């Protein structure tokens, strides 16, 4: 995991405006500070606003491709294209905090 943070690149490929259109499907969980999902067990939902761009891209692709296992995020990320992921990462790593 440490290497993810070391590889921070300067240029963001995503479009934050497009990401803002997509984030309706994320806000329900990630927009609520301290939110705990109740099913299947109680677990905290991480804050993703203000995270590193590259980290967000890698995390979403890892969920989508099954390298990172979380049923909820896998189900959500499965519907995202590479472009969607870039756009969402640009949105969440930008000024709009969520």
Q: Which residues bind ligand HEC (CB under 6 A)?
A: 25-26, 28-30, 37, 43, 45-46, 48, 56, 59-60, 70, 72-73, 76, 88
Spatial separation of the C-alpha atoms in residues 38 and 36, rounded to whole Å: 6
Measured from the CB of residue 27, what is the shortest distance to ligand HEC in angstroms?
8
Measured from the CB of residue 22, what is the shortest distance to ligand HEC in angstroms?
6
Measured from the CB of residue 47, what is the shortest distance to ligand HEC in angstroms?
8
Q: From the centroid of its chain, how far is CA 98?
A: 11
Nearer to ligand HEC, 45 or 90 (CB): 45
Q: Are 86 and 8 in contact (CB under 8 A)?
A: no
Q: Are 98 and 49 in contact (CB under 8 A)?
A: yes
């Amino acid at each position: 995991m440490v290497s993810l943070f070391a590889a921070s690149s300067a240029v963001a490929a995503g479009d934050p405006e497009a990401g803002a259109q997509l984030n309706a499907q994320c806000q329900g969980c990630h927009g609520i500070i301290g939110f705990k999902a109740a099913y299947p067990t109680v677990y905290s939902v991480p804050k993703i606003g203000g995270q590193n761009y590259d980290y967000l891209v890698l995390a979403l692709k890892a969920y989508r491709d099954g390298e990172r296992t979380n049923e909820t995020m896998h189900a959500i990320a499965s519907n995202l294209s590479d472009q969607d992921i870039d756009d969402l990462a640009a949105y969440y790593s930008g000024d709009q905090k969520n």
